[in-house]
Amino acid sequence: MTSHSSHPHGLELHNAGQFYINGEWTSPAVPALLPVINPATEEVVAEVARGSAEDVNRAVAAARAAFPGWSATPVAERASILSKIHALILERKEPLAQALTLEMGAAISFSRAMQVPLAAEHVRVARDLLSTYRFQTVEGSTAIEREAIGVCGLITPWNWPLYQITAKVAPALAAGCTVVLKPSELSPLSALLFAQLVHDAGLPPGVFNLVNGSGPEVGATIAAHPDIDMISITGSNRAGALVAQAAAVTVKRVTQELGGKSPNVMLPDADFAKAVPLGVLSAFRNVGQSCSAPTRMIVPRARLAEVEALAADTANALIVGDPQSPDTQLGPIANEAQFSRVQAMIQAGISEGAKLLCGGPGRVPGFEKGYYTKPTVFSEVGSAMRIAQEEIFGPVLCILAYDTIDEAVAIANDTVYGLGAHVQAQDLELGRAVASRIRAGQVHLNHPAWNPMAPFGGYKRSGNGREYGVMGFEEYLETKAIIGFNA
């Protein structure tokens, strides 16, 4: 039976209570549902099927059976299907954007301009790579062959739901792998629309499978499954560690993109009038719910007062409100647990003696319902404070002061994380020198354009492996050496 769910914004969700396994929509082995809450209203807007180990086993069996055929498919054929998926994402941009706004509260303008188009880009990149990538290279008498690793278990987060799905699914399919996807149970609606879209693009049965459910039930089963060859997870450090532990027994490859506490180093010659507002907007993009958000602004002590005024003015000007309103810049925090966490961290900043420039605890005036949070900026933050060390994942910025460039670099690196970093400098040579000293997987110099080919991933506790571009694609490949190939 097809479960059907619709809501005020005209988004039609067929199959909400089903999984996509082996090319068809199918009911869970044990009937059970998970509510999906609209963070703008705190109301249940849909219910999705809650998976169990039995559902994962069915999905893995389908992916296993489909693997020999799909991995042997000509590269041009895989590229053709990825082209169709890319076209369908753009064609169905509006329902996808509406689903994202409904399930995790992104402002509709942000869903349309960023969440959906950037997700489509990951598919385009994977498709385009297939026309240039050399799966076999020969040096002397040895051939090096790169071939699909096998069945991939993909676990995606709630903050960039569609974007993180395409960042994993597209390169996996391009490589010739088959997949079992577990989207976040907190924002699963866009994933259901994506599964239908993949089906409509003509992907053979079993190549892509989707099972909704909780981390402890579905995620843990995927991680430990003996017939899954690789896991790619984007999520919290806690979830990443649990998945790696469960996967270790069967010695599968695990790539993890986990937390971050990214620094934004303003060098003394930076254009502060331009760089500070951009820094605040970058930190608060997606309501601060990005693992690489530059939430620690590291500035020269002599310029602290100027930075405080610019940062507070920028934060205070942001329009927080109903994500369906075209004027809204920041919608609500995506779910109740995260809202509570952000509130607790704002309180911790105050308790630790940081200087509150704007925002603060409590709901946004005029919004008694919905997980709306005041854009908050702290100054005079010490590197040892919790707000400087722990990932907050909300619209909270910490300003830390330095006296020397060596001290600025030391503060930037004073974190267990190492995902993203920003450096602002008019002297590009100085900017590059500082960028090379920061222990992070991606450093942005002077707010460059987003580059979907640039590898993304972390040093230290921010993870293992890389996503995006060639390096992200190669995570889904095994390496075989054939010696005596040209003997």
Q: What is the mean pLDDT of residues 76-91?
A: 98
In this prediction, residues 413-431 reach a mean pLDDT of 98
Each residue's pLDDT tens digit, 231-273: 999 999 999 999 999 999 999 999 999 999 999 999 999 999 9
How much is the mean pLDDT over the chain?
A: 96
Q: Assess whether pLDDT exceeds 60 at residue 10.
A: no
Residues 299-308, mean pLDDT to the nearest whole number: 98
Q: pLDDT for 90-127, tens place per residue?
A: 999 999 999 999 999 999 999 999 999 999 999 999 99
291 is catalytic: yes
Is 50 exceeded by the pLDDT of residue 84?
yes
Catalytic residue among 291, 308, 467, 475: 291
Give span(s): CATH 3.40.605.10, the chain.
4-258+463-481
> Which pLDDT does position 129 carry in this prediction?
98
- Give CA–CA dist 352/357, Å, rounded: 15
Selected from 3.40.605.10, 3.40.50.80, 3.40.1160.10, 3.30.465.10, the CATH number assigned to the domain covering 4-258+463-481 reads 3.40.605.10
Confidence of residue 128 (pLDDT cuts 50, 70, 90): very high
- Asked if 24 contacts 205 with a C-beta cutoff of 8 angstroms, the reply is yes
Structure confidence at residue 15 as a pLDDT band (50, 70, 90): confident
Give strand pairing partners of 351.
none
77 is catalytic: no
Q: What is the pLDDT of residue 150?
A: 98
Write down the pLDDT at residue 253. 97
Q: Which of 12-21, 48-57, 346-355 has the lowest mean pLDDT?
A: 12-21
Q: Provide mean pLDDT across the span 363-379.
A: 97
Mean pLDDT of the 337-356 span: 98
Mean pLDDT of 354-365: 97
Catalytic residue, chosen from 257, 308, 391, 475, is 257
Residue type, 42: E
Interval 147-179: pLDDT, tens: 999 999 999 999 999 999 999 999 999 999 999
CATH 3.40.309.10 positions along the chain are 263-450
Q: pLDDT-based confidence at 186, cuts 50/70/90?
A: very high
pLDDT score recorded for residue 3 = 40
* Confidence band, pLDDT 50/70/90 cuts, at residue 13: confident
Q: Which amino acid is at 193?
A: L
Determine the pLDDT at residue 2: 36
Q: Which superfamily, per CATH, for 263-450?
A: Aldehyde Dehydrogenase; Chain A, domain 2 (3.40.309.10)
